[in-house]
Each structure stands twice: as C-alpha cells, then as structure tokens.
Chain A
Amino acid sequence: MTIGTSVSRLTVLDPTVEPAQAKAAMASRLSSLNGRVLGLLDNSKHNATEILNMMSILLGHRFMLGGSLPFRKRNASVIAPRELLDEIARKCQVALVAIGD
C-alpha cells in the first residue's frame, strides 16, 4: 500500500491503559482539631520540616491541639511505607503531609 493513495481503511489498536481504580474512601472529616493529635509527615525535601512546623504553630493558634508528632519518609520519590502510614493512623487523628518539591 502506498501511503496517501490507498483507499483501504486501517483498523488500529489503542496503545493506552486506564489506571486500575483504587478502592479507597475519604476519611470522615473532623469538625474541630481541638484535642486531636496532629501528625506531620516530612517528605525529606528541603524545608519540609520548617513548613510543617510552621503549619503546626499556625494550627495551634486556632485550635487546642492534643499535640503534634513528627514523622519522616526517607525518600520523597517513593510512597510512604505501609508501616509508617499505619503508625500515623494509630497515633494521630489528623495528619499533614509535605508534598512540595
């Protein structure tokens, strides 16, 4: 077949894949942070700790937090290990995650 001159129709295959849908639901929203323990998950990027600490202070001005706990994942480019996420869920009722670059 010569490109551009043939009248035959081609059938071509889709090269793409749709992502598998994750089975996850949003956690219930809290009406207040009073008395809640705040988890701060540092993603190891520069200034992540500083930003999270500042956020913790600002939230502390608005709410009577039950405390804040720092956590850190060693590598910004790898998802947090399940054990780390489980620990945050055990010890905290709310969490802030640093995901900036």
Chain B
Amino acid sequence: MVEKGLSSKQYQVGSALEAIEFYYEKGWTDGLPVVPSTAERVEEFLEKAGKRSQDVIGEVPERGRTITAEKVAINAVMAGCLPEYMPVLIAVVEAVTEKAFNLHGSAASTMGSAQLIVVNGPIAKKLGINSGVNLFGPGFRPNATIGRALRLILMNVCGAIPGVMDKSTFGHGGKYSFCIAENEDLSPWEPFHVERGFPREESVVTVFAAQAPIQVTNFIGNTPEDILASVADTMATVGYEQAEIVVIISPEHLHHISGHGWSKRDVKRFLAEKARRSVADWKRVRKMPGAIEHGDEDRMKVVVGDAEDIDVLVGGGGAGPFSICIPLWGGGISSRSVSKLIRMKE
C-alpha cells in the first residue's frame, strides 16, 4: 500500500535479511548493512520532523539534485536513526546545501573531506549525542547514525559515489560518520553556537568540510603555553593562510588552560601567533612553491591570519593529555562552515 504522499519507487523484497542484501545489490549502502526503509517507518520519521514528503530540504544545483524530506527520511531509516533525530538531520542537510558550504566541490575533491557535524544546545543531551569519551569513535547511536544518514544522502541522493563523483585519494573514517556534540557542561567558555550568534538555549548544528582529525599528544605541558605550543606545532603541519581551522581541547588539557585563567580568546590569540613557519620551511616541505631565497629563513607565514578563524571547542574523554586539530578542506577557503538552527516540530 502506498503511504500518503510518498513518491519514491517501491521494491518488494523478502525478509529483512533479504532486504539488506537487496540494498547491497543496488549499491545503496556505504559498505555496511542498512535498515530496510519501509513506507511506514519513513512516514514515522516525516511526522517527527513535521515535514511533508515533498518538502524541499536542500538542492545541489551543480548536480541537478533536489533533496526532499522523503529522501532524507528514507536514508535516515537506512542509517539506523531514530525518528527523533530528524530535526537534527534536516538542519544538517539545510546547512550542507548552503552555497557557502560548496557541497559539490568538497564532496567530489581528491582532497577527501567528510562533513563534520557539531551539535550544540539542549538537543545534544536530550538525544544522547556523545561529547565525551571516544568522541570520534563508535558506541553512540545518534553520533553514528546521524552522521551516517548524511553520508547515505550524499551517496544516494547527491551522487557522491566513490570513484564516480567522489574522487577522494584516501578519504577518511569520517566518511562513514562524523558527528559529535560539544561538551558545554564542562566548558567554562561560551559554547560554539553562542559564538556564532545563536542564543544559548537554542539547538544548532554546524557543518564543516573537514579532513581527518589530527591528535595532539602532550604529556608534559601543564600550563596553557606549554600545552598550546604543541597544538600550534600540529597546526603548523597543515599549511599557511588557512581561512578556518578547528581545534578541540580535551578535558585534561582544558583543566590546565582554564585553570590558569585563560579564556577562549586567549587560546585563539596564542594559537594564531604561534602556529607559523618560516617561508623557507614552507618551501622546504613543498607546501609553498618556489626555491628558497635569501631572507626566507626570517620571513614568517602564519597558519591562520585571524585568531577568530580558529574554531575552539571542548570535547573528548575525561582522561588523556590529548587535543585535536582538524584541518578543513581547501584550507577552509573553498568551503565555509555553516551553522543552522535546529527547528523542532511545533
């Protein structure tokens, strides 16, 4: 029976196991088994989102693709989401289809970015989106499935098929799922979405076209300068003149940094100043073209020109002297991060 308003083609399959194999045969998975997307389940997801099946959530004009609420819901079911995740996923799709995000370019590129989803606000705790231990790892349904749903949408709706319109040389694990919450409870600083201009009590997603996280290991430092020196050193392996970069401070490092009275602004300013290399060094490692010339050893090029372009978040497990640097695709120049309000069904 065709449920009301659904327009997607239907396929009769056998058991759930046979359905799982059917999806593999059609090439509709990310390599992992998916949940069969029945009309009844899809309707449940649409109802939770307060959307009609043909509501347009986003478009990728370069690819001639329109993403309807129905297709979001179908792929969300397949990913293993719960219906209550839909408002988050809707906001995510709205965000990645903003022109500034450049989904077409970032999803096709050999540089191989994935879409990092950061959730802020009350919904993170309500849905149980992990902001702590094993932040980028497995074990948390909303993290695993919201990020996965977006990837399935990219593949099935936007044509980002590996080797076809996804030409990533390597890609990275975030292409399975790359969704986290910021640890707002632990952080003494303004949450990321508040920095972006949203009220604290609102829930917001921010999406980044992100490369793989780089872990910064620092067992020795217990002052802000000593800890952040290693973060700056890691940033200096990325490249110069980045338009945006993400840094995630772990609880253990945060304890020392904020314990010495440093604000988020202090952190950003320190990193902006210290994350640099000489022109000679950039040329030496072929991150900058041209031969080394007289004076290049003394000329410096910073990683990020404006401290405000360093996005500082708090997250990760309570133990472990590590933090994270996440470079963005194309230096954050060709794709800008986008924040969107998560609208709950009224």
- The one of B64, B74, B104 in contact with A15, judged by C-beta atoms closer than 8 angstroms, is B74
Interface members, chain B 41-85 (any A CB < 8 Å): 42, 62-67, 70-71, 74-75, 78
B66 near A17 (CB under 8 angstroms)?
A: yes
A17 near B12 (CB under 8 angstroms)?
A: no
- The one of B22, B23, B38, B105 in contact with A77, judged by C-beta atoms closer than 8 angstroms, is B105
Q: Give the interface centre of B13, B15, B42 by most chain A CB atoms within 10 Å.
A: B15
- The one of B39, B78, B104, B157 in contact with A11, judged by C-beta atoms closer than 8 angstroms, is B39
Minimal Cβ-Cβ distance residue in A for B70? A13
B105 near A10 (CB under 8 angstroms)?
A: no
Contacts A11-B39, A22-B64 known; A77 to B12 CB distance under 8 Å?
no
A9 near B12 (CB under 8 angstroms)?
A: yes
B156 near A13 (CB under 8 angstroms)?
A: no
A13 near B64 (CB under 8 angstroms)?
A: no
A12 near B19 (CB under 8 angstroms)?
A: yes
B64 near A11 (CB under 8 angstroms)?
A: no
Minimal Cβ-Cβ distance residue in A for B13? A10
Q: Once A and B bind, how many residue pairs between them come within 8 Å at the CB atom?
A: 104
Q: What is the interface of chain A mostly: helix, strand, loop, or mixed?
A: loop
Chain B residues proximal to chain A, CB less than 8 Å? 6, 8-17, 19, 22-23, 28, 36-39, 42, 62-67, 70-71, 74-75, 78, 102, 104-106, 108-110, 152, 156-159, 289, 330, 333-335
Minimal Cβ-Cβ distance residue in B for A44? B334
| Across-interface contacts of B10 in A (CB, < 8 A) | 11-14
| Across-interface contacts of A8 in B (CB, < 8 A) | 15
Q: Which 3 A/B pairs are nearest by Cβ-Cβ distance?
A: A77-B105, A19-B64, A20-B64
Q: In the complex, A75→B42 CA distance in Å?
A: 39
Is the C-beta of A101 less than 8 angstroms from some C-beta in chain B?
Answer: yes
| Across-interface contacts of A14 in B (CB, < 8 A) | 8-11, 74
Contacts A19-B65, A20-B66 known; A11 to B16 CB distance under 8 Å?
no
- The one of B42, B64, B156 in contact with A16, judged by C-beta atoms closer than 8 angstroms, is B156
Q: In the complex, A15→B64 CA distance in Å?
A: 16
| Across-interface contacts of A6 in B (CB, < 8 A) | 15-16
Q: In the complex, A1→B18 CA distance in Å?
A: 14
A1 near B156 (CB under 8 angstroms)?
A: no
B171 to chain A minimum Cβ distance, whole angstroms, is 15
Contacts A19-B65, A78-B102 known; A13 to B37 CB distance under 8 Å?
yes
